[in-house]
Amino acid sequence: MADSGESVNKDMKVFVVDSQALPPPVSVRRDDPRLSVIYLLLAVALLGVFIEAGLIWHLYSRPAGPSDIQKVEYIKGEKHTLPSSSHDSNEVLPEKPPKAESKPAAFLQIASPPFSRNGVLPWRSDSFTVFLRGLQYKNNSLHIQQDGYYYIFSKISHMENCNFFKHQVMQRTERYNSMAIELMQSSRFICVTNLSQSRGNSYLGGIFHLLKGDSVFVKVSNSSQVHGDVYENFFGAFMV
């Protein structure tokens, strides 16, 4: 028995591990700046995921509008056009009518009878076809209420009975001490033997720069020669 015990002891081998041969354990420091960077990147990535999820939820939770219905029909292959925006669309939209500007204007007809001592013709401002807008009529004259360029016109129907006839459009302004200034005039002398049918027409029209406070009026050399039809004798102005 002693021999068997000795044989067992002889066969057993003991191994001894040197602790200096193993690599030293790595210690993780919680205050390492590289670890802070990793945590920051993970937080940014998670924030991006949450933002994207919120946008997707908002997109699918809002009510569908006409544009969304058109997009769905276009994707399905319907025969509807889908312009991406109003600038990309070739559709011609109707233009909006321009707003009417309230520019000064007036149209007057001859008063009946048209006789005047000084030749300044009187006018009617209360009949159906006449009107005043932004201008004032007094003392047989149109008074300007706003500076600007005005087209002034006057048409007179007169008898041609071998007498001289002058048709004038006059202006009064403080720039000339309110003296009467001639803007336009037409004069003629025609003698027709058949007095019952002799009638002439004189028309004056032009653009003038008028200031507030100016006035314009019509004057003739002999008011008794003016034919009394109101529709053939008129006077007016409008801002251009």
Q: How many residues does the chain have?
A: 240
Q: Is the residue at 62 inside a domain?
A: yes
What total of structural domains would you count in the chain? 2
In the predicted model, is pLDDT for residue 162 greater than 70?
yes
52 and 137, same domain (yes or no): no
Contact (Cβ atoms closer than 8 angstroms) between residue 215 and residue 144: yes
Are 199 and 138 members of one domain?
yes
Shared domain for 137 and 61, answered yes or no, is no
Instruction: Indicate if 61 and 174 belong to the same structural domain.
Output: no
pLDDT digits (tens, 9 = 90+) for 68-78: 555 545 455 54
pLDDT at 144: 97
Q: Which residues contact 149 (CB under 8 A, 6 or more apart)?
A: 207, 208, 209, 210, 239, 240
* Average confidence (pLDDT) over 175-180: 92
Give the per-residue pLDDT at 229. 82
In a domain, 9, yes or no: no
Average pLDDT over residues 84-99: 53
Asked whether residue 157 carries a pLDDT value surpassing 50, the answer given is yes
User: Does one domain contain both 212 and 125?
Assistant: yes
The boundaries of the domain holding residue 150 are 105-239
Judge if 126 and 215 occupy the same domain: yes
Report residue 97's pLDDT band, with 50, 70 and 90 as the boundaries: low
Q: What is the pLDDT of residues 33-46, one digit of tens each?
A: 777 888 888 888 88
On whether residue 203 sits in a domain, the answer given is yes
C-alpha angle 124-169-116 in degrees, rounded to nearest 5: 50
Rounded Cα–Cα distance for residues 113 and 123 (Å): 10
**How do residues 211-228 score in pLDDT, each as one tens digit?**
999 999 999 999 988 987
Residue 50 pLDDT:
84
Q: Please report, for the domain that includes residue 120, its CATH number.
A: 2.60.120.40
pLDDT at res. 86? 46
Q: What's this model's pTM, rounded to 2 decimal places?
A: 0.57
226 vs 83, higher pLDDT: 226
Max mean pLDDT among 97-111, 149-163, 187-201 falls in 149-163
Instruction: Indicate if 61 and 169 belong to the same structural domain.
Output: no
Please give the structure tokens belonging to residue 237: 């102005």
**Based on the domain organization, do 115 and 215 belong to the same domain?**
yes
pLDDT value of residue 80: 47
Q: What is the mean pLDDT of residues 58-80?
A: 58
Q: What is the pLDDT of residue 106?
A: 97
Please check whether residue 17 lies inside any domain of the structure.
no
Compute the CA torsion angle 158, 160, 163, 165 (nearest 10 deg): 40
